[in-house]
Amino acid sequence: MAQALLQLRPSSVNEAEADHKLNDLRALLRDMGSLVLGYSGGVDSAFLAKVAQEELGDRAVAVVALSESYADREKEAAVALAESHGIRLRTVRTNELENEHYAANPTNRCFYCKEELFVHLRRVAEEMGIPHIAYGAIIDDLGDHRPGAQAAEEYGARAPLQEAMLSKAEIRVLSRRMGLPTWDKPSLACLSSRFPYGTRITADLLRRLDRCEEFLHDLGFRQVRVRHHDTIARIEIERGEFGRVLEGDVADRIVARFKELGYTYVSLDLAGYRSGSMNANLGAVRHPAGH
């Protein structure tokens, strides 16, 4: 089901318009001259890194931020993709969990995450004499709950894909044409997004969630989120894959593995996977003062 949905997306894209936006992006990048960009290996940042590499060569530097909130399998895939496509790569270690504002998991947690990222991007840029830092925000992000956009504004981080008015669907079409394996990759989000706001984030819990999701991926589930609710693990997968959970001993294996990792109860969310499901109760969560 997930694959079928991904295959349907390109048909809804006006390819001539997507090409025009790609040309705008290329011109924008050439005008920037050089940049350091945050790179996770997801659909958007991989596309931006590849186009920047084509236009700027080694004057485009992709930076992978290593932290507990970044899934191990995603780190490995991001590095492999950069190496296979000739993208200049740097890695930095970020320490957002050491920031109490982040670890407490307020509704604007993403501000502190992006702040930590942009501090490191700016440092790399200054070391290399590069004037611009950038990240992979797209027009789909406009209007959503994105505290990270405020951090980008404060640190002068550009969003070239957003400036070129590129959407996720258009980026998938263009990525496929460019031969990027990420063109049909499921949407990514940092592991900290699996916690209800106000639930403290720890390195141990992030590792647990990473292992839970890795287990589900190994079972063949494509789009996966495991949401943490104290002793309960709430699994979100595409609704079209619900039947697979009940095939053979799959459910028993999932329960056994999740209990081994520390959960008492394991549930399947009948609403299925949806991006940002933890934002459903934003109105009921008190937003902290400040950013």
Task: Let me know whether 121 and 261 are in one domain.
Answer: no
| CATH number, position 161 | 3.40.50.620
- Tell me the two tokens of residue 264: 């008492």
Please give the Cα distance from 159 to 148 (Å, whole number).
12
Active-site positions? 190
User: Which of 184, 217, 237 is the last residue before a domain boundary?
Assistant: 184
For residue 147, the model assigns a pLDDT of: 82
Task: Let me know whether 78 and 38 are in one domain.
Answer: yes
For residue 279, the model assigns a pLDDT of: 65
Task: Let me know whether 16 and 49 are in one domain.
Answer: yes
Task: Let me know whether 134 and 274 are in one domain.
Answer: no
For residue 142, the model assigns a pLDDT of: 86
The beta strands (E) that lie in the chain are given as: 35-38, 60-66, 89-93, 133-134, 224-229, 232-237, 265-268
Please give the Cα distance from 191 to 46 (Å, whole number).
19
Which pTM value belongs to this model?
Answer: 0.88
Q: Are strands 232-237 and 265-268 parallel, antiparallel or unpaired?
A: parallel
User: Which of 184, 218, 248 is the last residue before a domain boundary?
Assistant: 184
Task: Let me know whether 164 and 270 are in one domain.
Answer: no
Domain annotation covers residue 41? yes
For residue 4, the model assigns a pLDDT of: 37
| CATH number, position 238 | 3.30.70
259, 266 Cβ separation under 8 angstroms: yes
For residue 261, the model assigns a pLDDT of: 98
Provide the residue range defining the domain that includes 150: 2-184
Domain annotation covers residue 90? yes
The secondary structure of the chain in percent helix, strand, coil, rounded to multiples of 5, reads 55, 10, 30
Token pair 């109860």: residue: 265
Task: Let me know whether 22 and 155 are in one domain.
Answer: yes
10-residue stretch averages of pLDDT, the chain, 291 residues long: 41 90 98 98 97 98 96 94 97 96 95 95 97 96 78 94 97 97 92 96 98 97 96 97 96 98 98 78 46 36
List helix spans (H) across 2-155.
2-8, 15-32, 43-56, 72-84, 100-103, 109-128, 148-155
Domain annotation covers residue 98? yes
| Number of domain units in the chain | 2
